[in-house]
Structure 1
Amino acid sequence: MSEPKYSGFLPGKHVIEAYGQGGFRFGGMSHKGSILALPSGISAWSVHTPDEIDVTSLASVFQEPKGAIEHLLVGTGQALVPLSAALRQALREAGIVAEPMTTGAAANTYSILLREDRLVAAALLAVP
């Protein structure tokens, strides 16, 4: 029996091909739910609302090698929701600039910056 192509983690860097309808397309496949797009790969993210975005839910971001991420685009859903001061401070101490924006803007910006070979990551809440 072969392993599934995607089991909640797809190694490598992949542009976001599409978003909406509760999920995302990337790497030639689709995923329902929120995602973390990191230099190490794209993984399912169990966060559903902006108030769940914190240091704990972004632990994978802090586990990436130091210097691998300069910008973290945070897609907060259909509306822009500011990040907490504590989260912004923790990211700043890790050398990461966090930029909250709507999920659509974050997904599009992430793909552009990734194509430019920038040190970028994205935390994207699924939107309808």
Structure 2
Amino acid sequence: MSKGLVIREAHFPGRAAIDAYGNGGFRFADMSHRGSLLMLPSGIYGWEVSEAAGVTVESLKRVLEEAEGIEFLLIGMGDALQPIPAPVKQALKDAGIGSDPMSTGAAVRTYNVMLAEERAVAAALIAV
């Protein structure tokens, strides 16, 4: 008996540079993903955030769980630069993670450079 369609959480087990972004998604590692992404040392995950207001301590739980492997988190806030909410900034600081908000395009470019330098970087990218 068939179980029908099984929907799994989007996950790519590894690190990869972003090849392209826009039209509501990203391309990386010869794949494409529609929606926002968390780029972490453990892999690349779909992220349910679609606007800057969704950047919360709860939405970044996976980042905080991997804090030991992350020195810096780039947060792509969409089309425009917006500040990181104070509780999020504090939770990241308490976990020993530096953070910087920027537009998603700037975050993608910075992430790719830091990844190429083999830095302990992660990114939370809102799709544009």
TM-score strictly above 0.5: yes
**Which residue identity does 2:81 align to in structure 1?**
L
Matched, 1:78 2:79: yes
Equivalent positions of 1:5-20 (< 5 A) are 8-20=10-22
Contact 2:78–2:103 at 8 Å: present in 1 too? yes
Matched, 1:37 2:39: yes
User: Residue 120 of structure 2 aligns with which residue?
Assistant: 119
**Which residue identity does 1:27 align to in structure 2?**
A
Q: CA deviation at 1:21?
A: 0.7
Runs of at least 4 residues off by over 4 Å: none
Question: SS in structure 2 opposite 1:77?
Answer: coil
**Which residue identity does 2:29 align to in structure 1?**
G
1:63-120 CA-partner distances (Å, limit 9, x unpaired): 1152x10110000000001011111011001000110000000011001100100000
Bigger-Rg structure (1/2): 2
Structure-2 separation of matches of 1:69 and 1:13:
13
Equivalent positions of 1:63-102 (< 5 A) are 63-64=65-66, 66=68, 68-102=69-103
Q: For the aligned residues, what is the CA RMSD? A: 1.2
Q: 1:21 aligns with which of 5, 20, 23?
A: 23
Structure-1 separation of matches of 2:85 and 2:99:
11
Contact 2:67–2:95 at 8 Å: present in 1 too? no
User: Residue 110 of structure 2 aligns with which residue?
Assistant: 109
Structure-2 separation of matches of 1:72 and 1:45:
15
1:3-40 CA-partner distances (Å, limit 9, x unpaired): xxx96100111101110010000111000000000000
**Which residue identity does 1:44 align to in structure 2?**
G
Taking a change above 3 Å as real, the CA distance of residues 65 and 89 of structure 1, as seen in their structure-2 partners, is closer
Question: Gapped runs of 5+ residues in structure 1?
Answer: 1-5
